[in-house]
Amino acid sequence: MKIVVAIKRVIDYSVKVRVKSDQSNVDLANVKMALNPFCEIAVEEAVRLKEAGKATEIVVVTIGPKAAQDQIRAAMAMGADRGIWVETVDTELDALTVAKLLAKVVQNEQPQLVLLGKQAIDSDNNQTGQMLAALLDYPQATFASKVVIEGNEAVVTREIDGGLQTLGLTLPAIVTTDLRLNEPRYVKLPDIMKAKKKTLDATTPEALGVSLQKSIKLLKVEAPAERQGGIKVESVDALIDCLKNKARVI
């Protein structure tokens, strides 16, 4: 079984995000970037499936500027076999454009399973996997906390508001990963070295026949209002009153 994993280069989770002074966007100049944590979980899951003898090849794909190759190498160091880099200068692609590009890659690669993070921590859209499933007309299971491959089926446990839901998907299928699916491994030094020698193919949206249309315009980015200091209340009744009438959360 071949697995394609889509990964994204995002601002590192530990970086304190700053807004550009003209409010046009988040300031990414000289900021530490990393593999999106949900994508990292997706790669880890693919590697575990391969280690368990369920998968034979793992292809990671990313869309972005040249620097995004770092994230492909990082995924390869975790155990992915091969990388595809779709070069775009623009880092603000719509989820739909990304899904279209990924759909082309999936059509070319013909994997049995496509793994994605449920969302990227930069814009928290939570759309790409779903759109990709729609474009390909594949079955999908989002927010996966457990993935089991049984023959031609993926049995996926999903985290939903009411608890857990288990779906059986006929392969090929799309699965997006949630936080509790696994804990990504520490990367081994020899694997970092090996990753350098793995194949990384470059392609472009033109070559894939996808035009980078924009249907969403970013108007303005503002930092959230600074948190106000808390208050102390005298009694439980006062607390309930505050929660009801001041904070209006219950």
Binding site for another protein (CB under 8 A): 29-30, 70, 73-74, 77, 186-193, 196
Cα–Cα distance measured from residue 149 to residue 175, given in angstroms and rounded to the nearest whole number: 12
CA 240 to chain centre: 39
Which lies closer to another protein via its Cβ, residue 187 or residue 233? 187
Cα–Cα distance measured from residue 210 to residue 208, given in angstroms and rounded to the nearest whole number: 6
Which lies closer to another protein via its Cβ, residue 89 or residue 189? 189
Cβ 122 to another protein shortest distance, Å: 19
The β-bridge relationship of strands 9-11 and 82-87 is: unpaired
Which lies closer to another protein via its Cβ, residue 29 or residue 236? 29
- The residues, ordered by sequence, that sit 6+ positions from 183 with a Cβ below 8 Å of its Cβ are 44
Q: And the tokens for 190?
A: 């020899």
Cα–Cα distance measured from residue 243 to residue 240, given in angstroms and rounded to the nearest whole number: 5
Cβ 145 to another protein shortest distance, Å: 23
Cβ 32 to another protein shortest distance, Å: 8
Which lies closer to another protein via its Cβ, residue 192 or residue 242? 192
Which lies closer to another protein via its Cβ, residue 193 or residue 216? 193
Cβ 7 to another protein shortest distance, Å: 15
Cβ 191 to another protein shortest distance, Å: 8
Cβ 125 to another protein shortest distance, Å: 26
Which lies closer to another protein via its Cβ, residue 16 or residue 217? 16
Q: Which of 56, 1, 8 has its CA nearest to residue 33?
A: 8
Q: In the chain, which ranges are continuous DSSP H helix? A: 37-51, 69-78, 95-109, 128-136, 189-195, 205-208, 236-241
Cβ 188 to another protein shortest distance, Å: 5
Which lies closer to another protein via its Cβ, residue 30 or residue 235? 30
Torsion angles phi and psi, residue 117, rounded to 5: -70, 155
Under 8 Å between Cβ of 142 and 176: yes
DSSP conformational letter for 26: B
